[in-house]
Amino acid sequence: MFFCPFCGTLLLIEPHHPTNRFACSSCRYVAPITSTQPLTANHSFLKYNKVVEESSDAAQTTVKKEEEEADGGQVITVQCQNDEKACDGDRAHYVQIQMRSADEPATTFFKCLKCGFQWKQD
């Protein structure tokens, strides 16, 4: 790929002139193609491809402690909001996600570490 030295636009090849040339569609920059080598290049990515073997090792799972951040959120001290069960848990994972437009506050999702109850706060 070649770019215009003045405006940075991708140069296009104009084949209709006596010799091929690069031309900028924005600022009318023109440069003759003087290379005797072809402008195309072939690349092979076969050596980078990896075969995925189906084996029992590939399906390993790791078990994490309940206190670790298994849900991807950080741990915070907050009272569990579970009204159905009398949970006295005071630690939960939380994740903040911008659900609405940027001028609205983010929605915070919680998951109690003790009972697993999930709730959100807008």
Does the annotation flag 80 for ligand binding?
A: yes
Is the predicted pLDDT of residue 89 greater than 80, yes or no? Answer: yes
Count how many Cα atoms sit within 13 Å of the Cα of residue 46 in the half-sphere of its side chain: 2
Does the annotation flag 103 for ligand binding?
A: no
Listed in order, the ranges of the chain carrying CATH 2.20.25.10 are 74-121
Q: Quote the pTM value.
A: 0.41
Is the predicted pLDDT of residue 10 greater than 80, yes or no? Answer: yes
The fold adopted by the segment(s) 74-121 is N-terminal domain of TfIIb (2.20.25)
Does the annotation flag 112 for ligand binding?
A: yes
Cβ 111 vs Cβ 104: under 8 Å: no
Joined tokens for residue 27? 């600022």
Is the predicted pLDDT of residue 96 greater than 70, yes or no? Answer: yes
Does the annotation flag 13 for ligand binding?
A: no
Looking at residue 83, its pLDDT comes to 82
Does the annotation flag 115 for ligand binding?
A: yes
DSSP E strands in 1-121: the ranges are: 12-14, 21-23, 30-32, 74-77, 91-97, 107-112, 118-121
Does the annotation flag 24 for ligand binding?
A: yes
More confident site: 85 or 47: 85
Does the annotation flag 87 for ligand binding?
A: yes
More confident site: 91 or 39: 91
CA distance 107 to 120: 7
Is the predicted pLDDT of residue 71 greater than 70, yes or no? Answer: no
Q: What is the pLDDT of residues 22-65, one digit of tens each?
A: 888 888 888 888 766 566 656 566 666 666 555 555 445 444 44
Q: What is the pLDDT of residues 100-118, one digit of tens each?
A: 888 888 888 888 888 888 8
Does the annotation flag 67 for ligand binding?
A: no
